[in-house]
Structures are given as C-alpha cells and as structure tokens.
Structure 1
Amino acid sequence: MKYLSLLQKAISLFLIFFLFSCASPKDIVYYQGADGITPQEKSNSYEIKMQPDDLLMIIVSAEDPEIAMPFNLKTYSLPSTNKLDIVRGQETVQLYIVDAQGTIDFPVLGKLKVSGLTRFEVLKMLQDKIAVYIKNPIVNLRVMNFKISVQGEVNLPGTYPVASERITLIEALTMAKDLTIYGKRNTILIIREINGIKSYNRVDITKADFINSPFYYLAQNDVVYVEPNRNKINGAAIGPNTGVIISISSLLITLITLIITTTK
C-alpha cells in the first residue's frame, strides 16, 4: 500500500505540473526598476504628423468673419428627423482629406503638401500663406479620424477613436481594459505605417524605461498587438485533451490498484 500511495501522489503531481505552470513576477509586473530611474527635466513628447487618408478639420477666422469666409469650406444644413421633436436643420462641417500624394486642396491657396508635417508645421504654413490676404488670421486644425487598434491578449480588443491628438501606449492598453494574465508584457508589437511603409516595433512595458521609447506615444492608425505567453499557447494545445488525459490517468491508477491488490 505504501508503494500505491506514492504512485498515486506521483501521478497527481505530474498532472498538476502538466496542466499548470508558475509565472514569474518579472513577466507580469509593470514598470520594474522605476525607483532607479532619474527623473527627467523634460518628459518625452510626441506630435503627430499628417499622412494620407487623414481627415482634417481646418477653420480660418479673423476679426471680420466675412474676410475669412473664402478660406473655409462651405457648411451644409442637413435635415434631421426626430419622432419626438420637429424637423431641425443640422450644420455639417466639410473636411479636408489628405490624398495619396499627401496634399489637400485648400480654398484660394490651392494644393498644399501636408503629409509628413506636424500639426504645428501645417498651422504655421497656413498662417503664413493666409497672412498675405488677411491680417493676423487664426487657424484651427484637428485630425478627425485619429484612431488606434488593440489586438491580442487584452480584455477588450478593438479599434478606438482618440479625441485628443496624443495618446500613450499605456492609455491605449487601459482603453482595452489592460492585458489578460496570458499577455506577453515584454514584447508588445506596435505596427506603424509612415508614407506607405509599415514598420514592426517591440516595446517592453515590464521595464520602467520604456517611457523613453519612440513608441511610447502612438501615432494615428497604429496597431498594438499583445502576443499570448507560453502558458496560453500550452493551454490551447492541451485544452481539448485535458479530459482524455485525466480519464487515462484515473484508469491507470485503477488498474495499478487492482494489480497490486490481486498480487498480494
């Protein structure tokens, strides 16, 4: 009976080891080594650059609104029907789309190259060109289709619109309700397209100094992919066969018990 008890324990331990594996804290904990990082005088910053397919809302204003009108796209009133209310007009602001050549067709000024320029650079260019016609013009610019996508081992994967024009990797993961316990935190993939060329970049968020990475701030249309760790991959492989393994192990224990009992 002593040998039977030892055998049963050995098989049980084998099953536990086979079905589960321990994760190290260094694979799970974020911002490791943060206490040893010297505070920076100036934080890492990022300003988005215009790229093809961006939708831009550009509004020009001046002291005299009529002078600025030729430099703005027309707005259209669209009927809006509400069953609980009367029919009301709704103004729709027209947007500029950056074409494949990286240009927009701007009233009065014509074709303007904006792709590759930062928001500040585009504003400066417009202000300088419009200043020829208007004294002290005010130009407002906003990217209307800024979005990022988060995929893989996160709790809420999806594509998320960004209201501001700057978002960090941590903010994007927070929008996706953080990584699951099965997500690889030390090799997060960021897919970025610049001028039609895609780049594939890795970020390790378990190390606190990742905030200095050029991919700490995301660009419009970035894709963030969190790979599954070894436990998830192994679990996917044995998942369908777990019941079979347990059944076979139970049968082996029963057979061994009978053999030992009958040989006494």
Structure 2
Amino acid sequence: MKLNTIYKSLVIIAVLTLVSCKQQKNIAYYQSIDGQTSNSFSNTYDATIQPDDLLLIIVSAEDAEAAAPFNLESTIVPSMIGQNISAQRQHQMYLVDKNGTIEFPVLGTLNVIDKTKSEVVKDLRNRLSSKYIKNPIVNLRIMNFKVSVQGEVARPGSYPINSERITLPEALSMAGDMTIYGKRNNVTVIREVDNKKAILKVDMSKSDFINSPAYYLKQNDLIYVEPNAAKANSSTFNQNIPVWISLSSVLISLVLLFKK
C-alpha cells in the first residue's frame, strides 16, 4: 500500500516537472541566440514616409531671409499654464495626401511616398541649393509616428514614438511585456503596405526573428499578442466555477445522505 502511494506520488511529481519545463520553454525569448553571430544582424533602419503622415519640415540657412519663403507660417495656439492662459507659437505641418505628395512653398508639389527621411532631405537640399539658397539646412520629422499593442500584454494601447525608430521587443517592453499567457511563437504585426494590410507572423522564441521584416516597426503598425491555450483553459475554468461549486454541493449532500 505504501509502495503504491510512493509510486503515485513520484508519477505526479514527474508529470508536474515535465509540465513546468514545457511552460518555461513556451515563455522564454531568444532560445537559439547562442547559435547566432553578431554579423548575422543588420542594425540599419530609416523610416519611410506613408500617406496621412504629418511632416514637420524646417528650412534654415545663414541668410535667414532667404530661407523664410520655404517655411510654412507658424500659428498662435492658446495654452493653459495653471490658471493663466498664454499663447505659444506652433509650426504648421505637411499632411501627406493619398497620392503621397505634399505642397511645398515655392517648389510646388513634391512626391515623398515610400521615400526615407534621408532621401527627402537630400532632395530638398539639392532643389534649394541649385537655385534659391546657399548651403541650406533641412530638418524633417514624422510627427505622427506611433505603434499600437493589443492582446496579452500588461498595458495595451497606442504609443507615440519620438525617435521614429523602434523594434518589436522595444514596443512590447513599452506595453509592459507579454503576460505569461501570451504566445511568444506567434506574434502578429499588421502593417499597411501599398494601401493593403500585410500580416506578418513572428516567432519571438527564436533569435532569428531579428532578421524578420517586422523586427523594425513602421508608423501605425499594430502588434497583436494571441492568448495561449493556458489562458483559454483558465478562462473556461473560471467561467464554470459556479457549476463546479453547485456540483460539489450536490455530491456532498448525497454523501452525507448515504452516511445516514
């Protein structure tokens, strides 16, 4: 009798150990990173401009008067500081239309779709220096760069990105990382490409996802972390708790009745 009890206990312990190891394997990141070399990965990235982007472009030069016609007029925006109302000067921005163009002062219509920031800056500098300004300085920023994170993360939401350069792990970190119930091997990135939705699947349990086109995120990317089977089972169990309690009460009542 004692041997049977010991045997059953050992079997239970072995099963629990195997389950624990499997769960640990499911939630670990970069499991094959030891087999990768630093030369395998590319760290270069430059954001490309898309329709509906808001661009802040400022042209400056040693001759401020020569640069002035190439800048949009700034607007006065009221702001509340404590109980006082003050006025702040704010730069106007360029909205990229559905055709991927903007209307630039003096230069007219410029095509910026799918061009990197560096390419647009270089093009503007060449146009300005060839005819209008000596040694122009062009600064460009994408002002609406953001990514959204949904699903099994600690803090789902939309996050503005000031640097215009963010990786998938960084976005998940901003959202508080995946919960223990998130599928590490099936993270979805939804991206708009040529006015169509592209679905990118990423296995973050393997280190080679760093080479994925979804490693560097683009503006307005949506990251979705799917719940794993443990979450689904947990939800089902929680929903059925009242049923289990009722069944337990009935069984206890029957046991007590038969004892009498």
Deviations, residues 60-112 of structure 1 (Å, cap 9, x unaligned): 11111110001111112334454645x54311100000001100000010000
Q: Identity, % of aligned pairs?
A: 54
Deviations, residues 2-40 of structure 1 (Å, cap 9, x unaligned): 9xxx9xx9xxx9xxx9xxx75522210111011121221
CA contact (8 A) 1:149 1:159 kept: yes
Identify the residue that residue 103 of structure 2 maps to in structure 1: 105
CA contact (8 A) 2:41 2:210 kept: no
The structural deviation recorded for 1:244 is: 1.8
The structural deviation recorded for 1:238 is: 2.7
Letter in 2 for 1:119: K
The structural deviation recorded for 1:43 is: 3.0
> Which SS does the other structure have where 2:38 is aligned?
coil
- Quick one: structure 1 residues 97 and 29, their matched pair in 2 at CA, closer, same or farther if it must change by over 3 Å? same
Q: Any runs of at least 4 consecutive aligned residues in structure 1 with deviations exceeding 4 A, and if so which?
A: 81-85, 256-259
- Quick one: structure 1 residues 229 and 136, their matched pair in 2 at CA, closer, same or farther if it must change by over 3 Å? same
Q: Give the counterpart of 1:123 among 117, 121, 139.
A: 121
* Residues 124-203 of structure 1 aligned to structure 2 (within 5 Å): 124-132=122-130, 133-203=132-202
Q: How many angstroms apart in 1 are the aligned matches of 2:55 and 2:92?
A: 9
Letter in 1 for 2:235: A
Q: How many angstroms apart in 1 are the aligned matches of 2:212 and 2:108?
A: 38
* Residues 34-53 of structure 1 aligned to structure 2 (within 5 Å): 34-40=33-39, 43-53=42-52
Letter in 1 for 2:204: I
Structure 2 residue runs without a partner (length 5+)? none
* Residues 1-264 of structure 1 aligned to structure 2 (within 5 Å): 24-40=23-39, 43-80=42-79, 82=81, 84-85=83-84, 88-132=86-130, 133-249=132-248, 251-252=250-251, 255=254, 259=258, 261=259
Letter in 2 for 1:123: V
CA contact (8 A) 1:45 1:217 kept: no
Letter in 2 for 1:92: Q
The structural deviation recorded for 1:172 is: 0.4
Q: How many angstroms apart in 2 are the aligned matches of 1:82 and 1:210?
A: 46
Q: How many angstroms apart in 1 are the aligned matches of 2:251 and 2:79?
A: 72
CA contact (8 A) 2:54 2:96 kept: yes
Q: How many angstroms apart in 2 are the aligned matches of 1:88 and 1:256?
A: 77
Q: How many angstroms apart in 1 are the aligned matches of 2:35 and 2:42?
A: 17
Deviations, residues 218-257 of structure 1 (Å, cap 9, x unaligned): 0000000000100111222232212322441454366357
- TM-score after normalising by structure 2: 0.86
Q: How many angstroms apart in 2 are the aligned matches of 1:163 and 1:231?
A: 36
Letter in 1 for 2:186: T
Deviations, residues 121-165 of structure 1 (Å, cap 9, x unaligned): 111111111112112111000000000000001010000000101
> Which SS does the other structure have where 2:113 is aligned?
coil
Q: How many angstroms apart in 2 are the aligned matches of 1:179 and 1:114?
A: 36
CA contact (8 A) 1:188 1:204 kept: yes
CA contact (8 A) 2:148 2:158 kept: yes
CA contact (8 A) 1:126 1:139 kept: yes
- TM-score after normalising by structure 1: 0.85
Q: What is the root-mean-square deviation in Å for CA atoms of aligned residues? A: 2.4
- Quick one: structure 1 residues 41 and 184, their matched pair in 2 at CA, closer, same or farther if it must change by over 3 Å? closer
The count of corresponding residues between Structure 1 and Structure 2 is 245
Q: How many angstroms apart in 2 are the aligned matches of 1:122 and 1:255?
A: 80
